[in-house]
Amino acid sequence: MYRPGAAPASGGGEPAAPPAPILDAQAKVDMQADEAAARVRAVLGAVDAELVGLAGVKRRIREIAALLMVDRARARFGLVASRPSLHMSFAGGPGTGKTTVALRMAEILHALGYLRAPRVHPVTRDDLVGQFIGHTAPKTKEALARAAGGVLFIDEAYYLYRPDNERDYGQEAIEILLQEMESARDSLVVIFAGYEDRMETFFSSNPGLSSRVSHHIQFEDYGTDELAEIAELMLTRDAYRFTDAAREAFQEYLDRRRTMPRFANARSVRNALERARLRQANRLVALSGKVSRDDLMLITEEDVRRSRVFAESPDRG
């Protein structure tokens, strides 16, 4: 989840130039002094600033960055190992920050010279799979061409594979992806994303894909307190704030909403705040009088509690 108002990381420009080789085997290298390391630290700092919670995700990002920074230092001494596989799987519910992390990962890989550009090209099944014979290959290859030198982010990746439909062309797209993931591994990173249980089924049904994806990162659902923190940050970004009573009501709203269907973590929080702002606007206009700056900023308990979530049998949030 983007932490609103966070400064963008310095991920653009050219990849950092390879540092000069070291001929003295007894010498020591300061990895923190490297230009690329400074850019990676900036991105990691942005991740901490942008993402609420997700300690496990942040730890894995730092581990991957550390591995690549050590490889960069080893190369200076001529200790060259095979390029690590960087294809990834992001498993978790909607609104848990998967796209944000993909963007920041692209910046890290670009800074360290593993990608030509800090670019993420997002696609779904519809962008890769055709409905007729001969349509899938051109669509998949076009998506790969657009992502070349960067990251191809495949959301809801499990929809590529439909074993119940023998006339489905998703397997053709998967085979093309497999070929490209191997042949273009020096210039392309593929990230598969989707719900955890479905992603496990997807990879178990496609052992060729599973063997090419080295990093499986789990995005946990947010707790109520984390969602409340996200709500406060969203309000601050847009120059709104809760009254004390509204803050307590919104905490209760979150406790209820999390147990209902179609809950989407930070996305549901954003949608709830947009509806609260709508109710606030209607309340203020109905006053037909003058309003103060505070009036225009405050979300009241009434604005929150008029949500259907507080009804006895709500049908949506």
- Residues 194/123, Cβ–Cβ less than 8 Å: no
DSSP H/E element including 274 = helix 266-287
Please provide the average confidence, as pLDDT, over all residues in the chain: 88
Contacts by residues 213-216 (CB-CB < 8 Å, ≥ 24 positions apart): 213/85, 213/87, 213/88, 213/89, 214/84, 214/85, 214/86, 214/87, 214/88, 215/60, 215/64, 215/86, 215/87, 215/88, 215/89, 216/88, 216/89, 216/91
Q: What is the pLDDT of residue 198?
A: 92
Structural domain tally of the chain?
2
Angle between helices 98-111 and 35-50 (to 10 degrees): 170
Q: What is the pLDDT of residue 161?
A: 85
The model's confidence at residue 15, banded by pLDDT at 50, 70 and 90, is: low
Separation of alpha carbons 175 and 103, rounded Å: 25
Instruction: Assess whether 253 and 295 both reside in one domain.
Output: yes
Task: Indicate which CATH number applies to the domain containing 211.
Answer: 3.40.50.300
Asked which of 219, 239, 268 is the last residue of a domain, the reply is: 219
**Residue length, the chain?**
317
- Residues 275/314, Cβ–Cβ less than 8 Å: no
Instruction: Assess whether 241 and 132 both reside in one domain.
Output: no
Instruction: Assess whether 117 and 151 both reside in one domain.
Output: yes
Lowest mean pLDDT among 3-12, 192-201, 278-287, 298-307: 3-12
Q: What is the pLDDT of residue 179?
A: 93
Mean pLDDT of 76-90: 87
The model's confidence at residue 316, banded by pLDDT at 50, 70 and 90, is: very low
- Is residue 17 situated within a structural domain? no
- Residues 20/76, Cβ–Cβ less than 8 Å: yes
- Is residue 43 situated within a structural domain? yes
Asked which of 219, 238, 263 is the last residue of a domain, the reply is: 219
> Does the pTM of the predicted model rise above 0.85?
no
Instruction: Assess whether 170 and 261 both reside in one domain.
Output: no
Residues 6+ apart with CB under 8 A from 82: none
Q: What 8-state DSSP symbol labels residue 308?
A: G
- Is residue 83 situated within a structural domain? yes
DSSP H/E element including 215 = strand 215-219
Taking the CB of residue 125, how many other CB atoms lie within 10 A of it?
18
- Is residue 20 situated within a structural domain? no
pLDDT of 24 above 70: no
Q: What is the pLDDT of residue 186?
A: 86
- Is residue 40 situated within a structural domain? yes
- Residues 96/222, Cβ–Cβ less than 8 Å: yes
Torsion-angle region of 49 (φ positive above 0: left; ψ -120 to 50: alpha; else: beta): alpha
Asked which of 178, 197, 219 is the last residue of a domain, the reply is: 219
Q: What is the pLDDT of residues 105-124, one digit of tens each?
A: 999 999 998 999 999 999 99
Instruction: Assess whether 233 and 130 both reside in one domain.
Output: no
Lowest mean pLDDT among 180-184, 260-264, 298-302, 310-314: 310-314
Instruction: Assess whether 62 and 192 both reside in one domain.
Output: yes
- Is residue 15 situated within a structural domain? no
Q: What is the pLDDT of residues 169-209, one digit of tens each?
A: 888 999 999 999 999 888 899 999 999 989 998 998 888 88
Instruction: Assess whether 149 and 257 both reside in one domain.
Output: no
Domain holding 90, by residue range, is 31-219
Task: Indicate which CATH number applies to the domain containing 261.
Answer: 1.10.8.60
Question: Which residues on adjacent β-strands are paired with residue 191?
Answer: 88, 153
- Is residue 12 situated within a structural domain? no
Instruction: Assess whether 161 and 263 both reside in one domain.
Output: no
DSSP per-residue string spanning 47-79:
HHHH-SS-HHHHHHHHHHHHHHHHHHHHHHTT-
Instruction: Assess whether 102 and 242 both reside in one domain.
Output: no
Q: In Å, how far from its chain's centre is CA 289?
A: 44
Instruction: Assess whether 261 and 148 both reside in one domain.
Output: no
pLDDT of 17 above 70: no
Instruction: Assess whether 263 and 194 both reside in one domain.
Output: no
Instruction: Assess whether 176 and 253 both reside in one domain.
Output: no
Separation of alpha carbons 19 and 294, rounded Å: 55
Separation of alpha carbons 150 and 78, rounded Å: 27
- Is residue 171 situated within a structural domain? yes
Separation of alpha carbons 252 and 272, rounded Å: 13
